[in-house]
Structure 1
């Protein structure tokens, strides 16, 4: 970003975008010419001017249909994260080879660190599911195709100025396990200390669209937000903090690309709370934990820009020559060991787990494990994106109550319930018990939730704005060759969007339902088959293992302890983040040119755009 532009200085709240589908101003009424000539021809413009339209009424539906209303800072930060930035960065920097690797790749010798960068990518399961449904492959095969594009010899390495590629491609599912275990502990902590810093109910914070909405419009929600970083942010913090220590390089020499289902993840990557200043100290410039975010559709644009046919990418894993082991053996086992989550195979549980990470389901299962003999009771809400959950003890007592709210329409109802009660203005109300008036007419007991999973997109993260849409599938299967065997998928009648999302969800679960054995990378990069292992390489499936919802909690805890030992940073600084209320300055006087105009000009000059 330009030195003359600071994101923190640009705070124009939610100013309407230029392409808003409804007008935000009513033009002043033009005065008709008073000449009294009844035979004068009146133009159409004059007739319309005499009858001005009513003031525009912009509803939430309009905003969601447009997605064009963001702050000036957000506009430039989003526009500068694209597939073009990925290619420009790869062409501008050589791929830095780490000292422990003795091979030479693409003519770059060990020790040549000047101007070089370590390139690391992380890929979400929702992105893999979108591409798997598009090209008729499994989620695991789609992941291999992505790795081949980013790291393999026939992908990005084949072209470009330096032949640079990504040294590691990480599945964010592994850091999701860290987030789930930490979320369950956080929910328990909120139960044990009702008057603590985190208020009940605890609201998930992994969805940046929801966080942006809460910070701008409902500051009373902030004390309820989970303090945990998202899997995207956790992955960035892990790789940059560990590589900086293990390889003796600056965090600025580590470039992290995240491939996500949602454009709002670009805003999350740009947050000042998610930089090296939180874990590396305040010295020097703040280095973002995630340097660039692209979506599934932008990943395909990345391949197309290099004249690469993505569907023709090999569906097998990248060879060890292009996928070396991570410098820390324990973290290497954690990041690249393919673990079979035995507790997540049941189809009847998939709907309750959801495709947004399964935060709520894991918290519920953890609470159920703490209350032997208890059962899970589910009550559907007014639509498919709202559900109530309760852990019921053997005697019928509710011991834990939670909910799921997806989509902004449902989120509005949630935040209305959590809004603090207003003091009644009726005479004597302050002296009467119950004189406070609760907004929204919420019924008693609606605020009893201990945990709520909140996601901005209806249907969850597989329905993110950056995913491949059903209308694009036919074109994508034809561009550059489909690579689909027998051409059977080409003959399928394209489904409607709702049916398409069902196919994406099926692809999301295809990896865990495959029944394959777990493969764990040894220190030398070889693959060994085990039932599971913790950060020290010990078996994690056994009578003494603490396994909840298919996740070995002891293994995750060992990884966190090892992470702290390697970096010397407090665990809270590695795992947690903060939030801030954003005040509006809409309507306040500004200079000759608005901040939006200034930033738009800078974005255009830098080559960015929506």
Structure 2
């Protein structure tokens, strides 16, 4: 079992090739006051690099926990066996409705390895799980729409509050003094023509920053707002940098919003209590098991979690072998369940089902969507497309895992919004230093623990035969990234016709107490007295 917290969190030598660079625990035999660094080779082995350059191989840590045992595919087998016994003995009291929710990154991983389209993978995995005894199979692209919408709304609210409190300066749109952000229509959309695509790469050295006290902030106006979908990043902040917590978005991740949907909305439709449903999420990352296990996502009333079990892409592939299947070629296909699957009728081919989802990168597209949403809501600017660098300037800074995206007033150079994406712990550390001292130039940052983001999560499949020499990992990541978008129709979250209905029927509207309960969460600083960060236990 692999989790991110066991790696050193300073001077980290994380480079882009191995996805396990930030998610595999290791044990260190000795403790030293001198901090070295961690190197990961192409086989996924870990080495401690000392000051003199010598390398010591680190052993994989053993995690013994009832909690971890519950977060395994073996537990899913146990529930399915229990259901079979319940049917044989005609005892409905022990029967649980089993729901599996699959991430789009997992679909892409299987599509790349088995030369399938993402839709074929979705249909084949639906067939596989239902043949095991699972009742419903859903797609977390659906809950991602809710997560994106809530994140956009949260950012706009924070931005306005920050301007009101004077913690950030409102942009000057017309050359006169500006007292606050502009609402819809304050900039004439007809007069605003998005800039032609332009991308620029800037190389900068990592400047050292002195250890200064953290700048005090309030959650409602803390800027920059930092994305909250990566549990590795959240654990890192909670355990080592508690002062960062007010900056983190309170919107739940797509996984946990799907947990709220399945256990509460879907359950109520079936007349079931949350504890009568067993919910499994298939994810690209082992750290998602930790996220599902957080006390914030546990119901004391029903003694159940929103997500009972998380299994990774690699664990699902292991299940194939355990069920006598080699690959996916022999699998049948079943239509995707209606309700919480992002599918529509293909407007071109007329096919009954085609995948749809928000555009943006393979980590969920939070930077792209929030920029687009905020540009419209705050300044009346339409036509922004971060993927195509339309209406914004996109720069790669330092390395491929750190990007800046800037929205400016046309012709004046006045910055309206400045966003960034920081992937991998080295980039995260640079970001943390600037945020801590109030020197960050950004309004929003998409933060991911893994280099290359979720598409490169440690639970993802590897090239066929694990032949890294034949398929370099960088090339493999690119293949999976291409499959993430393959055959998926782009649709803005607000164009999802089911969401408005959910807000009204399930949550009682937007920004209601129930919507905050089901779609938002909180974070908790953890006091540490450990000298050696490698000894951190999750």
Tell me whether the two structures share a fold, i.e. TM-score over 0.5.
yes
Residue among 365, 376, 387 paired with 1:358:
365
Q: Give the whole-Å Cα distance in 2 for the aligned partners of 1:187 and 1:95.
A: 49
Cα deviation for residue 494 of structure 1 reads 3.9
Q: Report which of the two structures shows the higher radius of gyration computed on alpha carbons.
A: 1
Aligned partner of 2:394 in structure 1 is: 378
Higher RCO (CA 8 Å, separation ≥ 6 residues): 2
Matching residue of 2:528: 584
Correspondence for 1:187? 155
- Equivalent residue, structure 1, for 2:488: 512
- What's 1:562 paired with? 505
Q: Is the alpha carbon distance of 1:340 and 1:210 closer, same or farther for their aligned partners in structure 2, counting shifts above 3 Å?
A: farther
Change over 3 Å in CA distance of 1:115–1:275 after alignment to 2: same
Q: Greater shift after overlay, 179-188 or 302-311?
A: 302-311
**What do the CA deviations read for 1:15-39 (whole angstroms, capped 9, x no partner)?**
999983643247xxxxxxxxxxxxx
Q: Residue 263 of structure 1: CA displacement?
A: 0.4
Number of residue pairs matched by the alignment: 430
- Verify the 8 A CA contact 2:26 2:61 in the aligned structure 1: no
Q: d(CA) in 1 for partners of 2:60 and 2:444?
A: 30
The range that moved more, 205-214 or 245-254, is 245-254
Aligned to 2:293: 270
SS at match of 1:353: coil
1:292 aligns with 2:309: yes
1:126–1:355 Cα contact (<8 Å) kept? yes
Q: Look up the match of 2:453.
A: 460
Secondary structure of 1:561's match?
helix
**C-alpha distance 76-147 of structure 1, shift in aligned 2 (>3 A):** same
CA pair 15-311 structure 1, distance change in 2 beyond 3 A: closer
Change (3 A) 1:20 1:175: closer
Instruction: Report the Cα offset of residue 312 of structure 1.
Output: 3.1
Give the one of 402, 406, 422 matched to 1:390.
406
Contact kept in structure 2, 1:83 and 1:301, CA below 8 Å:
no
Q: Which secondary structure does the structure 2 equivalent of 1:226 belong to? A: coil
1:552 aligned to 2:468?
A: no
What SS class does the counterpart of residue 451 from structure 2 fall into?
coil
Instruction: Give CA deviations for 1:421-463 in whole Å, capped at 9, x if unaligned.
Output: 7xxxxxxxxxxxxxxxxxxxxxxxx523111100111111110
1:45-444 to structure 2, matched below 5 A, reads 57-59=35-37, 61=39, 66=46, 76-94=66-84, 113-151=92-130, 155-156=131-132, 165-194=133-162, 195=165, 197-198=219-220, 199-277=222-300, 283=301, 285=303, 287-314=304-331, 316-318=333-335, 332=339, 335=341, 337-338=343-344, 353-370=360-377, 371-372=380-381, 375-396=391-412, 397-420=414-437
Does the 8 Å contact 2:425/2:450 carry over to 1? yes
Q: Distance in 1 between matches of 2:499 and 2:88?
A: 39
Unaligned 5+ residue runs, structure 1? Answer: 1-12, 27-54, 97-105, 157-164, 278-282, 326-331, 343-349, 422-445, 476-492, 516-547, 589-593, 600-610
SS of structure 2 residue aligned to 1:379: strand
Q: Of 11, 16, 24, which residue of structure 1 is paired with 2:30? A: 24
CA contact (8 A) 1:119 1:254 kept: yes
**Does the 8 Å contact 2:274/2:302 carry over to 1?**
no
- Provide the TM-score with structure 1 as the length reference: 0.63
* Separation in structure 2 between the aligned mates of residue 471 and residue 260 of structure 1, nearest angstrom: 20
Q: Say if 2:418 and 2:442, in contact at 8 Å, map to a contact too.
A: yes
The CA deviation at 1:378 is 1.3
- In structure 2, list runs of 5 or more residues that go unmatched: 9-22, 47-57, 166-217, 349-356, 385-390
1:306-348 superposed Cα distances (whole Å, 9 cap, x missing partner): 22344134353249xxx5x6xxxxxx2x546437799xxxxxx
How far 1:246 sits from its partner (Å)?
Answer: 3.0
Query: Is the partner of 2:506 in helix, strand or coil?
Result: helix
Name the CA distance, whole Å, in 1 between partners of 2:450 and 2:275. Answer: 33
Aligned-partner SS, 1:227: coil
- The offset of 1:500, in angstroms, is 0.8
CA-atom RMSD in angstroms: 3.8
The structure that is strand-richer by fraction is 2
Residue 258 of structure 1 aligns to a residue whose secondary structure is: strand
